[in-house]
Amino acid sequence: MRTVRPTDRVRNLGILAHVDAGKTTVTERILFLTGAVHKRGEVHDGTTVTDFDPQERERGITISSAAVTCAWADHRLTLIDTPGHVDFSDEVERALRVLDGAVAVFDAVAGVEPQSETVWRQADRHGVPRIAFVNKMDRPGADLDAAVASIRSRLGAAALPVQLPVGREDGFRGVVDLVRMRAYVWDDGGLAETGVPPGLRDEAVRRRRALEEAVAELHPGSLEEFCATDALADGTLAGALRALTLAGSAVVVLCGSAYRDRGVEPLLDAVVAYLPSPLDRPPVGGGERPADPHAPLVALAFKVNAAPTGRMTHVRVYSGTLGKGDTVLDTATGRTERISRVLRVQADRTDELPGALAGEIVAVVGPKAVRAGATLCPPDAQVVLEPPVTADPVVSVAVEARLGTDTGRLAAALARLAEEDPSLVVRTDPETGQTVLSGLGELHLEVAVERLRRDRGLEVTVGRPQVAYRETVLKGVTGLVHRHVKQDGGAGQFAHVVLDVGPSPDGEEFAFSSTVTGGRVPQEYVRAVEAGCRDALGDGPLGGHPVTGVRVTLTDGATHPKDSSELAFRTAGRFALREALRASAMALLEPVAEVTVTVPAESVGAVLGDLAARRGRVTDSQVRGGTSVVTATVPLAELFGYATRLRGRTQGRGTFTTRPAGYEPLTG
């Protein structure tokens, strides 16, 4: 029987972190403690609930975000375990778009790592309140204070630790809750709640005082009590911490060791106490659709599973009720779709529901053409929600079927892949006729190709990866005149434009302005010239790559009383800019990545030499716990095959992570 909880007892949260910080293990322990599963899953054993895909279990990483639902303290928690690898950051983006809160997991030794910073910035962009969990407190070199310091310095967050570890490294066995001034200790008999151990009382009192001072400084509502009594009551402190979390003004920090089952129960209590319910989030649809089951329906599709056995669309219901048999409008396509089934998702399993209420995350079966980012609403109460942002692909490979008879199957399989993952782009190269698959990284494409082989049973050949280059203007031209005249019977076409072209200010991709006076070019034709210039940015003169960093100014022009039209001026703008770019000094840009390499100290020399050979530029080097951490900016084209080379140079002990760092002029 389904238990329906009030909306204020619902928590929709994501688990965010750098790869290997322990996100999936935290999720598994939460599921076990809440009774959602009856056996602990382990990443290294390939038995986790949320990493159910064979590739995830083989590689030991999360590739696709997976939703699971459980209950704690009479609250319903829907968790989405997100990927930590940069190649799958688009999965994180789509998940954050529909979540109310998040738990950011950090390694107690490494602190803030590159992808930690990336997902943190993504959460900032979506305004998602967070609490932090410093994991792996049992590791040698684990240091809560250092991890908190890295959160403050690298993320710019007001980190407020609310716990004090009991024991260090391998002796870590519990935490002191600084809000309630109680200790939680785990041993073979399970969890025991006690008073603060005598040896930690002075330290706990000192840290509680520091927490009260920090909260009073950030939260005006508690400042008055602090000034009057020189302290904060437990209830005041907890209420202020929740208010600061919801406002994004501070981040509550907890600690533990998920693998050793220590610290997860207080984390669950903190999720319930501090993270928002759907009622705490602003109404959607311009503020007109609150999280009310009785309001008109608004739901956002954020993920599609287009399996051969059926199509399943994951949606977040923001307002109203979505029921079996309902007819909804897909505002992206203008089509109406019928909901045949509503499902509660438990990773790779589903349970059928009669319907979904405001604040719930579910999957629906029935819609045939709904894509990720589409808004579902009643046909007579339309509203459009902002879709998740899809990252531009940076790496491409040519894919073709080994057997000519499989060409049609390959095209259908690629279309299905792109439907499930909008960050994958499929196109046909106009020069070679090859089918090109583009994605966010080498691993991203490797996983996609392996799915073609395993899931679709296709034998495919793959060309060497190619990166997505761009072209930009170094020195432009002024006063370029272009006349577009076409007369072939009937109404003709006439447009006269004069352009100044140069590098765009402040690194903008494209800037357009008009200084034409006296009405020589009407405003509607100015807009047509801008549209034509945008058309010309698709293929630059150096190699047909997209053009970026261009400023265009329309300085003069002329019209014909009969033959001028928006089409004529759009055509003139397109050809004029192409001509101007051919006359300009252009440069080729290549995508670069920030690479963080962690290696034994004795291997640093070999790694630095290899990075230099790959045209890398070292930006930072640190020593952490006997290992060296080198950060460098490296052209993406030079990173293909780097994992194998690094393993060889470090006897398999080196690891690295990457994240996009924009474009830089091509060198070498």
Q: How far is CA 32 from CA 294, 295, 549, in A?
A: 34, 35, 52
Q: Is 545 annotated as a binding residue?
A: no
pLDDT value, residue 522: 92
Q: Is the dihedral of CA 323, 324, 329, 333 positive or negative?
A: positive
CB-hemisphere CA count at 13 Å for 449?
25
User: Quick one: tokens of 25?
Assistant: 């293990």
User: Quick one: tokens of 609?
Assistant: 């030499």
Q: Angle 254-59-63 (CA atoms, 0-180°, nearest 5)?
A: 65
Q: Is 19 annotated as a binding residue?
A: yes
Q: Is 22 annotated as a binding residue?
A: yes
pLDDT of 447 over the 70 cut: yes
Section 364-387 average pLDDT: 92
pLDDT value, residue 83: 80
pLDDT value, residue 41: 60
The residue among 286 and 431 whose pLDDT is bigger is: 286
pLDDT tier, 319 (very low <50, low <70, confident <90, very high otherwise): very high
Q: Is 665 annotated as a binding residue?
A: no
Helices 234-247 & 264-274, crossing angle to 10 degrees? 70
Longest Cα–Cα distance of the chain, Å, equals 98
With tokens 């007819």, the residue in question is 327
pLDDT of 500 over the 60 cut: yes
pLDDT of 563 over the 50 cut: yes
Section 488-507 average pLDDT: 85
DSSP symbol at 261:
T
pLDDT value, residue 308: 58
pLDDT value, residue 431: 59
CA distance 231 to 529: 66
Q: Is 135 annotated as a binding residue?
A: yes
Q: Is 149 annotated as a binding residue?
A: no
**Residues forming beta bridges with residue 131, ordered by sequence position:** 103, 252
Alpha helices by DSSP H, listed for 346-432, are 407-420
CA distance 660 to 430: 27
Q: Is 137 annotated as a binding residue?
A: yes
Q: Is 24 annotated as a binding residue?
A: yes
Section 311-327 average pLDDT: 93
pLDDT of 212 over the 60 cut: yes
pLDDT value, residue 456: 78
Q: Is 54 annotated as a binding residue?
A: no
Residue-wise pLDDT tens digits, 142-201 = 999 999 999 999 899 999 999 999 999 999 999 999 999 999 999 876 899 999 999 999
Section 452-463 average pLDDT: 85
Q: Is 37 annotated as a binding residue?
A: no
Q: How far is CA 189 from CA 32, 39, 80, 263, in A?
A: 16, 17, 30, 15
Q: Is 83 annotated as a binding residue?
A: yes
pLDDT tier, 1 (very low <50, low <70, confident <90, very high otherwise): very low
- The H helix count followed by the E strand count for the chain is 15, 36
Using an 8 Å Cβ cutoff, are 417 and 452 in contact?
yes
Minimum mean pLDDT among 3-12, 49-58, 510-519: which range? Answer: 49-58
Which residue in 149, 185, 166, 177 sits closest to 270, CA to CA? Answer: 177
Q: Angle 477-483-484 (CA atoms, 0-180°, nearest 5)?
A: 125
Q: What average pLDDT does the chain have? A: 88
The residue among 81 and 479 whose pLDDT is bigger is: 479
Number of other residues whose CB lies within 10 A of the CB of residue 411: 14
Q: Which amino acid is present at 99? A: L
Strand-strand pairing, 130-135 and 251-255: parallel
Using an 8 Å Cβ cutoff, are 542 and 588 in contact?
yes
CA distance 247 to 235: 18
CA distance 418 to 415: 5
Q: Is 136 annotated as a binding residue?
A: yes
Section 284-308 average pLDDT: 87
Work out the burial of residue 588: count CB atoms within 10 Å of its CB; fewer than 13 is exposed, 13-18 middle, 19 or more buried: middle
Residue-wise pLDDT tens digits, 8-58 = 999 999 999 887 888 888 988 998 899 887 766 665 555 565 555 666 566
Using an 8 Å Cβ cutoff, are 41 and 81 in contact?
no
CA distance 454 to 308: 13
Q: What is the pTM of this model?
A: 0.77
With tokens 């054993």, the residue in question is 45
User: Quick one: tokens of 319?
Assistant: 């307002």
Helix (H, G, I), strand (E, B) or coil at 281: coil
Q: Is 17 annotated as a binding residue?
A: yes
Q: Which amino acid is present at 160? A: L
